[in-house]
Structures are given as C-alpha cells and as structure tokens.
Amino acid sequence: MAGEPSASDPSVGDRASSDEMWMSLAIDCARAAGRQNEVPVGAMIVRDGKILGKGNNRTIRDTDPSAHAELVAIRAAARNQGDWRLTGATLYVTLEPCAMCAGAIVLSRVSRVVFGAHDPKAGMGGSIENLLQDKRLNHYCEVVSGVHSDESTSLLQSFFRERR
Ligand code: ZN
C-alpha cells in the first residue's frame, strides 16, 4: 500500500538498530557505575560511527553532584575533539536527562539525544518538562526515547532494591 510509514524505509530501520547497539554500550557503562556503588546510569557520545566520549555516574567517587553520566561524557567528548561544540553528535543515555544535564546538552549543541528509561521525578526530556526541545532556546535536539528502556529500568530498580 502506498504511503506505508517508517517500517518500509530501510534507513529508519538501520538507524534504529544502530541506536540499540550504542545504547547497549551505554548500558555497559551504567553497569560499571553500579559495580562501584554509583547510581547505574551510563552515557555515550557518538558521531559518524565513532565514540567521542563516554561516561557514567561518579558523584560519590568525585564528591561532585554534577558528575552525572551525561556531563562526564560531554566533558570527555569536548576534550577529545578539542572543541566544545558537539554539533552532529548523538548522545545516548540510559536514563532521561535531568535539568542540569539537559541544560549542558543544549549548550554543547548535541544534535540528537537517545535515552532509555523515562524519569518521572527528574526527567527534562519530556517527563516533567522538555528542555531538550524548547524552541525558545537557541538550540533544539532531536529526541528518541525508550530505547532498551526495560534493561535500564531493571538495572536501576535492582540497584535501589539492594540498598533499601
Ligand atoms: Zn543529570
């Protein structure tokens, strides 16, 4: 039938499977954080099929409330490429970004954000507000949510269950 949507477009399928692949690596980063007793959230920044930076939560290790996975990855990516602008890059993160991270994502000009689990208590990628796509700001990201969200959610749930 004519006008059949996305599933028949091979480029959409390719992007979806590469999103899943990169998100799996972000989940590996999240697991590594959990093993160090940090909240298991991981992030990867990718451009043209290459990793620019990655990170996981390290707020306890660094005694730094700003050491969220996204910020660690953004700092690494900017340092690695010698330019603070991450235009054209995709940021993969296992949990919806908070206000601080969404602000840094907008400032760093990341083009695309792919996140896993929604965060109803802090998420600024659509759950509470959508800072990533506020057209009043000078930068606007493409956002894809829910990629491998079950895996990200169960990682977080088991982490907090063990600590209760
Ligand atoms: Zn954050």
Mean pLDDT along residues 30-46: 97
Please, which pLDDT band fits residue 10 given cuts at 50, 70 and 90?
low
Whose tokens are 């000078």? That residue is 138
Mean pLDDT along residues 102-131: 98
**DSSP conformation class of 19:** H
| 41 Cα: distance to centroid of ligand 1 (angstroms) | 9
Mean pLDDT along residues 51-70: 98
| 6 Cα: distance to centroid of ligand 1 (angstroms) | 31
Angstrom distance (rounded) from CA 103 to CA 67: 14
| 94 Cα: distance to centroid of ligand 1 (angstroms) | 11
Contact 124, 97 (CB under 8 A): yes
Threshold 0.75, pTM exceeds? yes
Catalytic: 162?
A: no
Q: Which of 161, 162, 157, 163 is nearest to 41 (CA)?
A: 157
**Residue partners of 162: CB distance under 8 A and separation at least 6:** none
Q: Which of 49, 66, 37, 52 is nearest to 159 (CA)?
A: 37
HSE of 136 in the Cβ direction (CA atoms, 13 Å)?
2
